[in-house]
Amino acid sequence: MNFSLLVYAAPHSRQAAETAYRFAVAALAQGHGIHRVFFYGDGVHNGSALASPPQDECDLPARWQALAKEHELDLVVCIAAAVRRGVLDANEARRYEKPGHNLREGFELSGLGQLAEAAIHSDRLITFGA
């Protein structure tokens, strides 16, 4: 079965970001596919390269990145939600004349069309609400 996940929660604020990650691990372990993970609202903070949690705490952005690398996952961060929260890639940093960018490698900024496409082309879209 082909899943897509919609993640509304930031790491360290709501548990839903961790639940989504656990779901992805469990689905992949059973041989299912993950078409896309779409990070929306506060969920865009999962794509930050600058999050630096204490070493004894779960580093969700790093875990998503590692999982995506291992399984070639498509991690899409909503561009409108990300830019207003200060999660920028190099292009957006240039566009808004900001001094730096912080979108983590393995994630990409894109629009809501990617969510609509995921809903159409996945067997199930699972929402992890904050």
Partner 1 sequence: MTLHTLNRPPSDRALLDDCIAALVADDTLLLLEDGVYCALAGLELPAGVRCVALAADVAARGIGDRLATGIEVVDDIGFVELCCHHSRVASWF
Residue 44 burial (CB count, 10 A): 26
Residues 67-106 interacting with partner 1 (rule: CB under 8 A): none
> Least distance (Å) from partner 1 to the CB of residue 45?
17
Determine if 2 is a binding residue for partner 1 (CB under 8 A). Answer: no
Region 12-31 residues binding partner 1, contact defined as CB under 8 A: 14-16, 19, 22-23, 25-27, 29-30
- Contacts (CB under 8 A) with partner 1, residues 30-59: 30, 32
**Of 121, 114, 104, 130, which Cα lies nearest the Cα of 38?**
114
* C-beta of residue 20 within 8 angstroms of C-beta of residue 55: no
Which residues belong to the active site? 78
Phi-psi region for residue 97, left (φ > 0), alpha (ψ -120 to 50) or beta?
A: left
Binding range to partner 1, per CB under 8 A, among 64-72, 75-83, 107-115, 121-129: 121-129
Cβ atoms of 98 and 84 closer than 8 Å: no
Where does this chain bind partner 1 (CB under 8 A)? 1, 3, 8, 14-16, 19, 22-23, 25-27, 29-30, 32, 124-130
